[in-house]
Amino acid sequence: MPHSLYRATLCLHTPLGTPLAGDTLFGQLCWALREAQGEAELTHRLTGYTTGQPWLVVSDGFPAGFLPKPTLPQHFEPPQSDPKLRKAAKKNRWIPLGTSIGRSLDLLKKPLPELLTSAVNEAAAFGCAPQSAVQPHNTLNRLTGTTGEGEFAPYSMPQTFYAAEQKIDVYLVLDDARITPAEISGLLGSIGMTGFGRDASIGLGKFTLDSLTPIATPAHAQANAFWTLAPCAPQGQGFNGENSYWRVLTRFGRHGNLHALSGKPFKTPVLLASTGAIFRPATAFKAHPFIGQGLGRDGKLSKAEAATVHQGYAPVLPVFMGDGI
């Protein structure tokens, strides 16, 4: 089935309690679809999800106009003789798309080592680097009207604050036969009004959808690897381990919405490759909008909901790793 790549630009209005990760946002979009159209429709969309036929694949959220720096060993980096410059370069986590009209992906025509030379730090990418802070919470004992010990003890939770009206890009791969741009816009709008992630009920995670734009992915003529934009499960997908690079991420997931209030809100942990991985196929390279696999079903991920799935797919961009690599 044909798939198309879109870029959604979100405008944040409140802090986030949960990082804007692709697999987390996918789960909340599933809940939004269930609430809008019913459980039967969600079940229909998830047909084939664990057999390589996703209806939707969602990236992490990135500062508008930037992509996550690929995960690569130090020898890929531009050589730096000054130790201070090498240390500063480690903080350069974002690759700018450039100033072209519409923030096109023409940078993909450059080899990977050249892309790394343009990396910038958080302050340059966001305009004002996000700030983490701790928010105190209280739970009152209704019998005494005060806090106390155990479940009534005061506690704190982290929040991430962004600049006012911070713009965030999210890349979405849509199955053209099963979801339309108008529909995904509505689902994102619904989440933005109610809030994304933890503590949405007390005001966190609010955003509006600024735009949803189809994106072309021009590639280098010798493109030979995939650059991932979300955590994914690449196991058994035919990649060359010696020429692929990733960081391991263990996702300790938990249910949202109604199942978050059940007696068994936690899911089975899953092992993923973190965002920004580079995977090189063991055979001839063939461009594809996503890689990975759908995880779950049949009680593999949850004892509270046997049909639970987890996004082990990631939107990808084609890149050329460079001569002799």
- Pick from 110-119, 137-146, 206-215 the range whose average pLDDT is largest: 206-215
Pairing state between β 278-279 and 309-310: unpaired
Helices (H) and strands (E) in the chain, counts: 6, 16
Indicate the range of 117-121, 177-181, 295-299 predicted with least confidence: 295-299
**Residue 237 phi, psi (nearest 5):** -100, 10
Check whether 101 has a pLDDT greater than 60. Answer: no
- Nearest CA to 227 among 189, 183, 269, 280? 280
| Average pLDDT value for residue range 22-31 | 95
Q: What is the pLDDT of residue 121?
A: 93
Distances from the Cα of 314 to the Cα of 110, 173, 226, 234, angstroms: 22, 9, 10, 9
Separation CA 270–CA 252 (nearest Å) = 7
pLDDT above 90 for 52: yes
pLDDT in tens, 202-260: 899 999 999 999 999 988 889 999 999 999 999 999 999 999 999 999 998 777 766 66
Q: Where are the beta strands (DSSP E) in the chain?
A: 3-12, 56-63, 66-68, 94-96, 131-137, 155-161, 167-175, 207-214, 225-228, 248-251, 270-273, 278-279, 290-292, 295-296, 309-310, 313-319
pLDDT at 166 over 80: yes
Residue 325 is predicted with a pLDDT of: 59
Domain boundaries, the chain: 3-136+155-319
pLDDT at 305 over 80: no
